[in-house]
Structure 1
Amino acid sequence: MAGGNAIRGSRVGAGPMGEDERGETAPRRQVRYYCGRGHVSAPYFALDAEVPESWDCTRCGLPASQEQENPPPMPRVEPYKSHLAYVKERRSDEDGAAILEEALAALRQRRRL
């Protein structure tokens, strides 16, 4: 059995939790944001604070706006591209064949020397 003079449910330095002791809360407003998946985020802002046009959804992380009927579109996720894929975007098959033939000719020339 634990003994001592500690008061259960409190900690050292804990004080009363009433509004009178903490002071008045700042006036604030709740703003609703809607994401493309239908989630609603409702953060509070001070009345004199500038409210952002977009907000990250607290459930899925997608961008959200204040327009429920017209939420922002989901961002496009580009798949990973290899170095070869980027090279193929810049060069045609004919260019690649010409470069390969040039490199092979240089290699054959070095072997003869």
Structure 2
Amino acid sequence: MAGGNAIRGTRVGAGPMGESERGETAPRSHVSYFCSNGHVSTPSFAQEADIPDSWDCPRCGLPGGRDSQNPPAPPRTEPYKTHLAYVKERRSDADGAAILEEALSKLRASREL
């Protein structure tokens, strides 16, 4: 026995939809992008849309270009820097020694009081 529900297993809006219900699709153009790992991705764009120069590869995530002979190089990732590394970029050793001596003299002066 079916249980009396005539539309069991369906939902509102489900069913075969064709171009008659959705409208006609825009004319498309397929563009190939090549990444440095040798992957090719071919997304489709509307013909009147602006085609981007690069497209991220869906397989490896590297940027892909439209020239198969010269794909874009992978982006260079900077290593993690500590706070001390950033300080050393801004200050020379002489500046650091002067700041340290100033802090130590203030500390010694506060202990003497």
What band does the TM-score fall into relative to the shorter chain?
A: 0.7 to 0.9
Kindly provide the amino acid, as one letter, of the partner of residue 39 in structure 1: H
What is the distance in 1 between the residues matched to 2:78 and 2:13? 53
Deviations 1:27-69 (A, max 9, x none): 2111000111111110011112111111111111111110111
Aligned length: 113
Q: SS of the residue aligned with 1:106?
A: helix
Amino-acid identity (%): 71
Q: Cα offset for 1:14?
A: 4.0
Higher mean C-alpha displacement, 24-33 vs 71-80: 24-33
**Partner SS, residue 98 of structure 1:** helix
CA 1:4–1:107: 2 relative to 1, 3 Å: same
| Alignment match, 2:54 | 54
Q: SS of 2:106's equivalent?
A: helix
Question: TM-score normalized by structure 2?
Answer: 0.78
Q: Kindly report structure 1 stretches of 4+ aligned residues shifted beyond 6 Å.
A: 1-7, 9-12
Structure 2 unpaired stretches of 5+: none
RMSD (Å) for aligned C-alpha atoms: 2.5
Partner SS, residue 59 of structure 2: coil
